[in-house]
Chains A and B, each alone.
Chain A
Amino acid sequence: MRSVPGTHSPHAVNAGQRLDAVAADLEYFRAKRLEPRVLHLVRRGVISLNDLIRAGRDTVGDRPARDTASDRTSHTAAADVEQRLRALEDRLDAFVAGIAAVAVAIRSADVVIEDIRRERGDYDPFLRIAKRTYSGSAEERMSQLERGLADSEELLDLFTRALLNTGEITARQLDQRRQAVRNQGYRNGARLVARAWVDPEFKRRLLETGREAARELDIPPGRLGKLGVAENTEHEHNIVVCTLCSCYPHDLLGDPPWWYRTDEYKRRIIEDPRAMLAEMFGLQVPANRSIAVRDSTSDVRWMVLPRRPEGSEAMTEDELAELVTPESLVGAAEPSVRRTWRDE
């Protein structure tokens, strides 16, 4: 399931906007995360193009048929559009998780991606992989996206198999990594937040000293720059971004939600944070509450201390920690006692 509550509602965002979002995300992860990594390993001689071809030849028989677009083109009912959109979004999520699973497992993990080059200052647009454009009616774009995603899924599949065939990763490592990707490491953040809700003195230390306070909960504080903690209040709502790359206190809090890395998010959250929160996350910030966008760098990495939800007065610290989602740690959602701690 896509990890943003609300985006699955057909009323929250119309089909055109959702198609745009899928297109932006697919092209981001294809052109910036998957294909540069394949090329990097080919350049380094870790795998060869022929390894990819061989992986494809080995698996012709057992790969499930993916291209279901052609036998669906006659259905135009709204329910069918919704179903196809959801299928696209869910496949995109699986695609992104699949990239993450092979990205970390490989020995040659020092892949220099564009974002790192950009922040290092030796970014060269000549090396950029061209992004595809999807145009035409919603129906046409839907079909193009289904084909485009199927192509990228196939490449990821071959890439993964080639890494397995060449012994670069083992099936066991891959399984472990897939498991780790599913169990995102945001629980440290959830524990920090829950303790801050029940212990005002701890909250003060967390806000003042940042990651030093994590030691009190036996959480390794990490050492990637400074941890900035922005407290949500009745008067101010905080949202975290890293407009230059994807800085996040991931040594302490694990990976941010996947959309945190997308260009679409980085651009729109500066242009119009209020509309962005409403449209992308279904979060209506009251008109009398300011929105503070916290732009992270490698030196100061921000997290949000969300507001304690109403109705949680009788809950224990452990129960409170279950209310905290990865989205609420960056300010894209507010913890609620009505929603379960994961939307699946």
Chain B
Amino acid sequence: MTSDVRPSAHRFSVGELVRVRDDQPGGSPRTPGYARGKVGTVVALHGQIPNPLDHRDRYPPLCTVRFELQELTGRPARDYVTADLHEDWLEPAHPAQLVPQP
């Protein structure tokens, strides 16, 4: 999944904690509502994905971000959700911003 990625194109790296912006930074509108304002971990880098059939613009590099279900729902769970998000939606985060473990 990461073979065609030039790491220099990415602001974030695998393993980094990120927070999803709650405002609309422009660019791709495809950031799910449940992830906005939430903190997750970058688990894969995809680089810039040209996708002229779906959008003419070239969006910023794309990261797969893992959100623990507990962070999204507030209920304890071992399950998680991954979403593929463009970097303009992401900002660095700190562990303290995660929903605390019970």
A contacts, CB < 8 Å to B:
119-121, 207-210, 223-226, 228, 243-244, 270-274, 290-300
Contact = CB atoms under 8 A, between A and B. Distances in A.
A272 B46 CA distance: 28
A252 to B, nearest CB: 13
Given A209-B3, A300-B64, A291 B49 contact: no
Contacts of A208: 1, 3
Contact of B32 (A121, A271, A272, A295): A295
Given A209-B3, A223-B53, A224-B53, A297 B79 contact: no
A270 B69 CA distance: 8
Interface of B: 1, 3, 29-30, 32, 34, 46, 49, 51, 53-55, 59, 62, 64, 69, 72-73, 77-84
B49 A274 contact: no
Most buried by A among B30, B51, B62: B30
Nearest to A274: B79
Given A208-B3, A292-B82, 19 more contacts: A208-B1, A209-B3, A224-B51, A224-B54, A228-B1, A243-B34, A273-B69, A274-B79, A290-B78, A290-B80, A291-B80, A293-B79, A293-B82, A294-B82, A298-B30, A298-B51, A298-B55, A299-B54, A300-B84
Contacts of A274: 77, 79
Contacts of A300: 46, 49, 62, 64, 84
Contacts of A228: 1, 64, 84
21 contacts: A209-B3, A224-B53, A225-B54, A226-B49, A271-B73, A290-B78, A290-B80, A291-B80, A292-B80, A293-B81, A294-B82, A295-B32, A295-B81, A295-B84, A297-B83, A297-B84, A299-B49, A299-B54, A299-B62, A300-B46, A300-B62
Nearest to B72: A270
Contacts, number: 74
Most buried by B among A121, A209, A296, A300: A300
Most buried by B among A121, A208, A292: A292
Given A243-B32, A299-B54, A292 B79 contact: yes
A210 B1 contact: yes
Contacts of B73: 271-272
Contacts of A243: 32, 34
A225 B48 CA distance: 11
B70 to A, nearest CB: 12
Given A243-B32, A274-B77, A290-B78, A295 B49 contact: no
B81 A225 contact: no
Contacts of B54: 224-225, 298-299
A218 to B, nearest CB: 22
Contact of B51 (A244, A291, A299): A299
A270 B34 contact: yes
Given A224-B54, A299-B51, A290 B30 contact: no
Contacts of A291: 79-80
Nearest to B35: A295
